[in-house]
Amino acid sequence: ETGVTQSPTHLIKTRGQQVTLRCSSQSGHNTVSWYQQALGQGPQFIFQYYREEENGRGNFPPRFSGLQFPNYSSELNVNALELDDSALYLCASSLGGPGYTKFFGPGTRLTVL
């Protein structure tokens, strides 16, 4: 059984560019959620996908978008990057339903210059 993996590990972009981050879920998990963790802060919920449909979204603008694929892997896309988008982006997979443990990947460190 493999855990949650994310790619790339690190990424440097400039303002205005677009970025795609990838996440592979833990085997058997049908739910993927994404979190943004700014330096020195707790993670903030971006959105969640359950069986390829977005079913929850935090206070992030529409330029943050995502996809979940039939194999339950997922992408996070961010358009028109801003300096404040610099953060650690964490992906978590779980089974759907309240109380199921979310297993986090190691994260992608995005730096926007």
Partner 1 sequence: AQSVTQLDSQVPVFEEAPVELRCNYSSSVSVYLFWYVQYPNQGLQLLLKYLSGSTLVESINGFEAEFNKSQTSFHLRKPSVHISDTAEYFCAVSEGGTQGAQKLVFGQGTRLTINP
DSSP state of 63: T
Phi, psi of 77 (to 5 degrees): -115, 135
d(CA 76, CA 40): 22
When binding is defined by CB under 8 A, the residue of 24, 43, 66, 110 that contacts partner 1 is 43
Q: How many residues bind partner 1 (CB under 8 A)?
A: 30
When binding is defined by CB under 8 A, the residue of 1, 2, 28, 42 that contacts partner 1 is 42
Nearest CB to partner 1, comparing residues 50 and 64: 50
Of the listed pieces 14-22, 41-49, 74-82, which binds partner 1 according to CB under 8 A?
41-49
16-43-46 Cα angle (round to 5): 55
26 touches partner 1 by CB under 8 A: no
When binding is defined by CB under 8 A, the residue of 8, 16, 61, 96 that contacts partner 1 is 96
Beta bridge partners of 34: 47, 91
